[in-house]
Amino acid sequence: MPKDEDAAQFVSSNVVATPYHELGHGLIDVLQLPVLGREEAAADSLSALLTHEVWDEDSATQIVYDTAYAYSAYAQEADQGGWELAYADTHSLDLQRYYNLVCQFYGADPEVRQDVADELELPAERAEGCADEFALMSESWGGILSGLTPTAQTKGLVLVGADTATDPIAAILAEEITVLNEKPGAAAGNHGFGGGTRRGECPLRAR
């Protein structure tokens, strides 16, 4: 891990948020979910939702700042390098992913997160609709997530082929899977996901 604390936090946040996105692809594939729109955007939405649901306010905000920064850094790198924008890519453009993330995170709790929206320069005209944007994707993913609690008949999420004793990233993934398997069971939210105790202390940094 980088010795610099900010760099370590940046890596830590992205190690948490990226598997949330990949989990979205996995669920779409395994559960054969209908996707009305771009799959990459649906996976990004799940990452924003889980960041909001799983972590306490400070940690969630830190994860969003770090992952949003990654998108803006990619965009800046492309701009400085004179690279063509990836219009044909399956992902939205980096800055679109940046604003979608900021909008959804802000929209999850606009009263508390106005400073986040201001600091990350979410335009007012986009901000207006962010609560609705969050509600729509939260209800869409929430119903799926609430059905994932392990039962006598189902395993929930299982990590395979990773050595958690020697691989720090595998250890983080194992911790995430444990939390995600428990989280829907603790659900008290209106969409069947959420509620329960949101945790703090982003991993890696705490290790």
Nearer to Zn ion, 40 or 109 (CB): 40
Would you state the structure tokens that stand for residue 197, as one six-digit string?
């105790």
Using CB under 5 A, count the residues that bind Zn ion. Answer: 2
Nearer to Zn ion, 40 or 57 (CB): 40
Q: Does 204 bind Zn ion (CB under 5 A)?
A: no
Q: Measured from the CB of residue 76, what is the shortest distance to Zn ion in angstroms?
A: 21
Residues 87-116 contacting Zn ion, CB under 5 A = none
Nearer to Zn ion, 43 or 145 (CB): 43
Q: Measured from the CB of residue 91, what is the shortest distance to Zn ion in angstroms?
A: 7
Which amino acid, 201?
A: E
Residues 9-48 contacting Zn ion, CB under 5 A = 40, 43
Q: Which residue has the tokens 């993934």?
A: 173
Nearer to Zn ion, 43 or 116 (CB): 43
Q: Of 140, 80, 131, 75, nearest to 103 (Cα)?
A: 131
CB atoms within 10 A of CB 139: 13
Would you state the structure tokens that stand for residue 193, as one six-digit string?
């996901």
Nearer to Zn ion, 17 or 187 (CB): 17
DSSP state of 92: P
Alpha helices of 82-193 — where are they, by DSSP H? 94-108, 114-119, 124-127, 130-145, 168-182
Task: Give the x-and-dash track for 42-71 against Zn ion (CB under 5 A).
Answer: -x----------------------------
Q: How many residues does the chain have?
A: 207
Let me know: does 199 contact 55? Beta carbons within 8 Å: yes
Chain contacts with Zn ion (rule: CB under 5 A):
40, 43
